[in-house]
Amino acid sequence: MNFFLTIIVDGLIQASWLFIVALGLTLVFGVLKILNIAHGSFYAIGAYVAATVVTLVAAHRLPPSVGFVAMLFAVALIAAAVGLLLERGLLKMFYGRDEVVLLLVTYAVFLILEDVTKLIWGVNPIYATQPYELFGNLEFAGLYYVGYDLVLIPISAAIGFAIWFGLNRTIMGKIVLAVIHNEEMSVSMGVRVNRVYAFAFAFGVLLAALAGALTAPKISMQPGLSSDVIILSFAIVVIGGLGSVEGAAVGAILVGLARAASVHLMPQAELFMIYLIMAGVLLFRPEGLFKRETARRI
């Protein structure tokens, strides 16, 4: 019994940060219709920036809580800047072209950012463990967990709720939803789609980078991080349905549980499991679990 509980708690911990990454990916797809291969790179950048800030704070003998808050602020600033710059400076040039072309453009961005992170932070593993001890260790159902890990779950749920609320209960959110569902219509209603695009893309980058920052204390940052993360978040959004917030949540929990289960039951089989789920979903419900297929008008 305890064994399954362990898997479930571990799975939820995994799901919490995966959900934040996938949320960014699915929002960007929903609004801009871009499947962003570079999304994992933004996660990596968030993690690296967080590590730099945390190390800097520690070097000044400030407490880890300062490091934690500082890294979130720094990452938010940098992510917003990178997101706006990329959308306005680059992606804008390719709007209106085939979605596969945009896929290739983001692949190019992925390649570039891959080396940029190497040039800035080197190729050796970097750590930023100080904030990890921030919340101590907590006992839960007879097992000890790192408090930081457990705290991620409510943080992620809060972010999810905030986005759901923002989309469904605020004017800005309704405009974004209008663009998602019917862009032509919203243009004719006077929505400035360009702004929505820029905002949505920057916000997507922000979510990826935030997830990177939040996980930075748990992991070692090294090359290959971004390609692993994008692979996981692709699986999540495809399972849940591209562009669906609920789908991202369900997908993240499924993938989180699959990861945790394979770690405990069949070590090293996690990617295999996750992609098997993804391929299965694609084969039987190509639009994902949360979307309906639409017929083509002729």
Partner 1 sequence: MNKGMHPLVMIGLVGAVTLFGRLLPTWTLSLATIAAANALISLGIVVLARTGNISFGQGLFYAAGGYGVALIANGWGLTDAVAQVIIGAVCGGVLGLVIGPLIARYSGIFFGMLTLALSMVFYGALVKSTALGGSDGFNVGRPTLFGIGFSDPREADFMLYAVSVITTGLAGIAATILFRSEFGLASLAVRENNLRVEYLGLSANRIISLNFVIAAIFAGASGAFALMAQRHIDPQFAYWTTSGEFVFVAVLAGNQSVAAVFVASMALELVRSFSNLYLPNTWQLVLGVFLLGVILFLPRGIGSLWVRDRRRKSTPATASEGTTKKEVVL
User: Could you tell me the smallest distance in angstroms from the CB atom of residue 234 to partner 1?
Assistant: 6
How many CB atoms are closer than 10 A to CB 197?
21
Binding mask 60-99 for partner 1 (x = CB under 8 A): ------------------------------x--xx--xxx
Binding mask 215-234 for partner 1 (x = CB under 8 A): ------------x---x--x
Query: For residues 156 and 233, which CB has a smaller minimum distance to partner 1 in the complex?
Result: 233
* CA triple 31-201-250, angle to 5 deg: 65
Characterize the bridge pairing of strands 143-146 and 137-140. Answer: antiparallel
User: Could you tell me the smallest distance in angstroms from the CB atom of residue 196 to partner 1?
Assistant: 21
272 binds partner 1 (CB under 8 A): yes
Backbone angles phi, psi at 7, to 5 degrees: -60, -40
Query: For residues 14 and 156, which CB has a smaller minimum distance to partner 1 in the complex?
Result: 14
User: Could you tell me the smallest distance in angstroms from the CB atom of residue 45 to partner 1?
Assistant: 15
Token pair of 71 as six digits: 């890294």
258 binds partner 1 (CB under 8 A): no
* CA triple 261-263-268, angle to 5 deg: 120
Indicate which single residue of 35, 180, 210, 214 sits in contact with partner 1 (rule: CB under 8 A): 35
CB of 246 within 8 A of CB of 56? no
Cα 161 versus chain centre, distance: 15
Part in contact with partner 1 (CB under 8 A); list of ranges 146-154, 163-171, 244-252, 263-271:
263-271
Indicate which single residue of 271, 285, 289, 291 sits in contact with partner 1 (rule: CB under 8 A): 271
- CA pair distance 72, 173, nearest whole angstrom: 24
Indicate which single residue of 5, 62, 115, 140 sits in contact with partner 1 (rule: CB under 8 A): 115
Indicate which single residue of 82, 105, 229, 236 sits in contact with partner 1 (rule: CB under 8 A): 105
User: Could you tell me the smallest distance in angstroms from the CB atom of residue 223 to partner 1?
Assistant: 9
116 binds partner 1 (CB under 8 A): yes
Cα 24 versus chain centre, distance: 5
Closest CA to 127 of 37, 230, 221: 221
Check the CA dihedral 156-157-163-166 and report its sign.
negative
Burial degree of 251 (CB within 10 A; 0-12, 13-18, 19+): buried
269 binds partner 1 (CB under 8 A): yes
Closest CA to 37 of 170, 254, 179, 230: 230
Binding mask 132-151 for partner 1 (x = CB under 8 A): --------------------
- CA pair distance 192, 183, nearest whole angstrom: 10
User: Could you tell me the smallest distance in angstroms from the CB atom of residue 88 to partner 1?
Assistant: 15
Polymer length in residues for the chain: 298
User: Could you tell me the smallest distance in angstroms from the CB atom of residue 154 to partner 1?
Assistant: 31
- CA pair distance 78, 70, nearest whole angstrom: 12
265 binds partner 1 (CB under 8 A): no
Q: Which residues contribute to the site for partner 1 (CB under 8 A)? A: 35, 90, 93-94, 97-101, 103-105, 107-116, 118-119, 123, 227, 231, 234-235, 238, 266, 268-276, 278-279, 282-283, 286, 296, 298
